[in-house]
Structure 1
Amino acid sequence: MGPNLHVDLDRRADHAVLRLHGQLSVRTAPVARRAMLKSLFDVGKVVVDVSRLQLANPECVALLPSVLNTAGGWPTARMVVVDAEGVFEDAARRVHCSDLLPFYPATEAGVRHVDDRPARVRRDCAVPADPTASATARRFLQEAAADWDLSPDLTEVAQLVVSELVSNAVEHAGTSSTVALELTDETLKISVRDGSTTQPVARPLDMVSFRGRGLPLIDRVSRHWGILDHPDGKTVWATLSLVPEEPV
Structure 2
Amino acid sequence: MSPELHVDQECLVGYVVLRLSGRLSVRTAPAARRAMLKTLFDVGRVVVDVSGLRLVTPECVTLLPSVLTTAGGWPAARMAIVDGDGVYEAAARRVRCADLLHFYPATEAGVRHVDDRPARVTRDVSVPADPSASATARRFLQQAAADWELSPDLTEIAQLVVSELVSNAVEHAGTTSTVALELTDERLKISVRDGSTTQPVPRPLDMVSFRGRGLPLIDRVSQQWGIIDHQDGKTVWAALSTEAPAVAESEESSDPETDRAV
Structure 1 residue 211, shift from structure 2 partner: 7.2
TM-score, length of structure 1 as denominator length: 0.94
Instruction: State the distance in 1 between where 2:53 and 2:198 align.
Output: 44
Which residue is equivalent to 1:224?
A: 224
Q: Is 2:148 the partner of 1:174?
A: no
Aligned to 1:241: 241
How far did residue 76 of structure 1 move?
Answer: 0.9
Counterpart of 1:122, as a letter, is T
Q: CA RMSD in A?
A: 2.0
Hey, what's the Cα distance between the residues in 2 that align with 1:200 and 1:159? 20
Corresponding residue SS for 1:200 = coil
Aligned in 2, Cα 1:22/1:209: closer, same or farther, shift over 3 Å? Answer: farther
Alignment of 1:136-151 (within 5 A): 136-151=136-151
Alignment partners' CA distance in 2, 1:6 and 1:207: 61
- Match of 2:85, SS? coil
What is the identity, as a one-letter code, of the residue corresponding to 1:160? Answer: L
Deviation, 1:6, is 2.1
TM-score (norm 2): 0.89
SS in 2 for 1:244: coil
1:14-71 deviations in whole A, cap 9, x for unaligned?
0011111122222221111111111111111011111111222111111111111111
**Number of residue pairs the alignment of both structures matches:** 247
CA distances 1:146-172 after superposition (whole Å, capped 9, x unpaired): 111111111010001001111122111
Cα deviation, 1:111-157, whole Å, max 9, x if unaligned, reads 00001111111111111222111111100000010111111111010
**Separation in 2 of the partners of 1:211 and 1:39?**
48
The SS at the match of 2:9 is strand
Match of 1:159 in 2: 159
Q: 2:234 & 2:55 partners in 1: Cα distance?
A: 31
Residue of structure 2 equivalent to 1:5: 5
- CA deviation digits over 1:214-240, x for unaligned, max 9? 211111111111111222222111110
User: Match for residue 122 of structure 2?
Assistant: 122
Secondary structure (helix, strand or coil) at the match of 2:39 reads helix
How far is 1:12 from its partner? 1.2
Report if aligned partners of 2:153, 2:245 keep a CA contact under 8 Å in 1. no
Percent identical residues: 79
Q: How far apart are the structure 1 equivalents of 2:231 and 2:207?
A: 34
Q: How much has 1:205 moved relative to structure 2?
A: 2.0
Note the C-alpha offset of 1:84. Answer: 0.6
Contact 1:204/1:214 (CA < 8 Å) preserved in 2?
no
For residues 74 and 154 of structure 1, what CA distance do their matches in structure 2 show?
19
Structure 2 contact 154–245 (Cα < 8 Å) conserved: no
Kindly provide the CA deviation profile for residues 66-100 of structure 1, in whole angstroms up to 9, marking residues without a partner as x.
11111111111111111111111111101111000
Residue 260 of structure 2 corresponds to none
Q: Following the alignment from structure 2 to structure 1, what is the Cα–Cα distance between the partners of residues 210 and 222?
A: 17
Match of residue 58 from structure 1:
58
Q: Using the alignment, how far apart are the partners of 1:3 and 1:203 within structure 2?
A: 61
Counterpart in 2 of 1:206?
206
